[in-house]
A and B are shown apart, each in its own frame.
Chain A
């Protein structure tokens, strides 16, 4: 099933065309993405599903400008990053994209408050009121001066979410943000995450294994055999 909700290309926040990516391994190159096409509009939220090893994380990393594709076009907020250099991609990550990973999200040497503010300040969009609101909503007010390793997994993941949203990125990319948490905590954090994302009006592409979670989003992309089916 191919999902294209928005037809006006100028309205596209993220678009991939014929993106290919392979990794070099001991037994030669392994094709992971074999011509992926997809689009995401502002305010839209899409779930990315597929078997383990199908290339979901790879796709997300390419969209975030963390890695470069072998072939194809990737356009983020009007910028073609397929041919962009290191510096330009870093600028994109700083200004436009927000990332939430499964783990190792936080900067261990900074306390919670500094972690929350970090990306917003990098992007030049630091808003203390909004940050306080987020900290409150995420239940982090009590542990603002603790360090990441003094937090539980759920708390750490809430800080990661708060940090991403504090910067008000136009595109949020999340890779199984609650995969490391138990189901109850995961659900609570996820509900909060989705509510806050829609509050900022950002576009969201989220990798998940859970059909239940996928159902809560606007649409769903299924990766298999290196393509979006």
Chain B
């Protein structure tokens, strides 16, 4: 048995390249997959940490529409409620940094919320007395280096980007004197009576809103990881298949010498497990690196898009490593299952009639075409009847896999036609030979197809999104300045002050409401040209703005309309109001439902709503000056007044960051596909000599053969590129019109960018040429003796 294993392993010593490809493919597949998983795990962990902050997952809260006056808190305490006040807000440090502050009162804080040990009183006193003390995670400390803040101290278990501080100090820093954000309450504590008007009791919540919001983002990442993993497995599958094929005579000899089929299969299995573990460890290391490189961007995306704080550094999790090794093993076994089955059922004697490649590959192609058709039909069915994000991703997978399986069938058909149309003997041989190479190359070509289609698809989606998003931002952010005053009194004074100085000052008011059984935001919209000219409507009734101002009609956002299948003209009902839908507007970057009413009707429903936020119209050239005057006149902190340009800039920055991750994964996937191509070509080149030698002997130079080899690779890559284009566009369409709708609730118009395709095409052909360069050079440099050995008696 030891001898048999040594014999089996000796194959790898003789073909180290094959071994390298096998290990590399497996390591890359594992790396991309586990890299994405590491990012997801890090994000989930920090969501869970955030959910557990101040015991939110175990404590009830009392909230109001806006901040709660401190007197209300005092009254409640007096009435016997064992509540503890919390204030939350963000302080801007400088252009690039901000810190989320949570102000607490350590003396009344319920036990589950005790985040920090104040020790033997040595921290409590400085915490309570000015200038106070901020507890934060180590990395937050590092990030806040040099900031103008009270002293910082390290503490564990606080989410990144967050500082824990005494409520009095927080009120001062946040300029929210006399206010608290909400009150914490032990759910088991006694409740002396009803809550006063305007306050609401919110039960504990184990899953944070952030976790729910970011689900689709992580699903996207996971899908990408899966795609890369699949592409990597293509390499593994072809390397294993080839190694088994080449060792077939050895298997026969071993079996003839008395090794049972079971032992042989077992030995091969052991060999594979060994490789899987080796490559798995390498892949984990690589995956950790990938994740560590990508995480800062991902963290920035999550912070910008969802306000979710994720640390920029990666923790090592043993569970993650175990899962990575597991997936490496599983992938290897899946890739090898066909080969292993064949070995287990290997007949002792070689079949009398040699397997004719033409017949065999014809049959394989037919089977493949049938499988492809099945998958594409499944994709079609899902498109028609599927619901939900998971169905959308299954649709994507079926579409991609079906198309990949179809590729060799199509290429074979084209090659057959070309062979038939070819006139000269060399051309005819060239096409026939290319057809013969196809089975050996098809896995690499399939990987290339997937990578190219993913690039085209995701590229189209991102570019479409960018175009739509910038246009939409221009419409939505129509005000030159956005003001949010610290309190109602200041707001009123500012509004009066602005009246003669600005073209228009329109209140932006919102309230929480409920529509069709789901929570929604309700906005009041003034009747003004700014909206009439700019608001991005997708579908509308005639005279929409007059109808809205009249009070009996509402606008709803696309998310709500799609989820509830609403159209303009449909009736709609809110607590205290009933009317019809005048129009549907696009509302990107926001997952929840929104309804807009005319401002008069809004205040009739919500008289308590604050008018603290305003949109200001002013000649763009005057905007900056006006902002300065305003800040000076009312001593406003920077963040109360935001100009349109920086708001747009910020939104676009979030956007670019989001897709930086996607772009990085895209490039990696393409790289893996190029490698698959290289691996297959290298492996094939070793078996090419008997096919090329006769042609050379009959009078073709090596240089010409080498040129033809290069041409063949480029042709196959071009064919794949041509096939990738419609597939990529289909992919983009599914992403924009199906996945997006299911995941976020909005649909984006699709724009195509043919120039990007040209770049990608050049890149793909370059990669193919590079992959072919080494084997082709080898061929051109062969000595005649090497070719002649083919004709010698033994080979």
Contacts and interface: CB of A to CB of B under 8 A. Distances in A.
Contact of A102 (B355, B700, B793): B793
B436 interface: yes
Question: What does DSSP make chain B's interface, helix, strand, loop or mixed?
Answer: helix
Interface in B124-172: none
B690 A117 contact: no
A102 B699 contact: no
B436 A108 contact: yes
Interface string B286-304: 0000000000000000000
B424 A118 contact: no
B425 A93 contact: no
A122 B785 contact: no
Contact of B697 (A66, A114, A123): A66
A73 interface: no
A104 B356 contact: no
A94 B784 CA distance: 16
B791 A110 contact: no
Of A57, A90, A102, A118, chain B has the most CB atoms within 10 Å of the CB of A90
A103 interface: yes
B432 interface: yes
Contacts of B704: 90
Contacts of B693: 104
A64 interface: yes
B788 A90 contact: no
A107 B695 contact: yes
Given A61-B788, A150-B354, A95 B699 contact: yes
A150 B356 contact: yes
Nearest to B704: A90
Interface in B331-363: 353-358
B436 A93 contact: no
Contacts of B703: 86
B429 interface: yes
A103 B690 CA distance: 10
Interface in A157-188: 175, 179
A94 B691 contact: no
A105 B784 contact: no
Interface in A14-55: 23
Contacts of B358: 147
B793 A179 contact: yes
A149 B436 CA distance: 13
A10 interface: no
B758 interface: no
A103 B791 CA distance: 6
A104 B699 contact: no
Contacts of B98: none
A102 B791 contact: yes
Interface string A105-120: 1111110001001110
Contacts of B355: 149
Given A109-B433, A109-B436, A66 B699 contact: no
A63 to B, nearest CB: 13
A114 B432 CA distance: 10
Nearest to A103: B791
Nearest to B437: A109
B791 A175 contact: yes
B701 A107 contact: no
B700 to A, nearest CB: 6
Nearest to A120: B425
Contact of B788 (A66, A87, A123, A147): A66
Given A61-B784, A86-B701, A122 B425 contact: yes
A107 B691 contact: yes
Given A91-B699, A104-B690, A149-B357, 11 more contacts: A57-B792, A66-B787, A102-B792, A105-B694, A107-B691, A114-B428, A119-B698, A121-B425, A149-B354, A149-B356, A175-B791
21 contacts: A66-B697, A66-B787, A67-B788, A86-B702, A94-B699, A94-B700, A99-B697, A99-B698, A103-B791, A105-B694, A108-B690, A109-B435, A109-B691, A114-B429, A118-B429, A118-B698, A119-B699, A123-B699, A149-B356, A149-B357, A150-B354
Interface of B: 353-358, 424-426, 428-429, 432-433, 435-436, 690-691, 693-695, 697-704, 784-785, 787-788, 790-793, 795
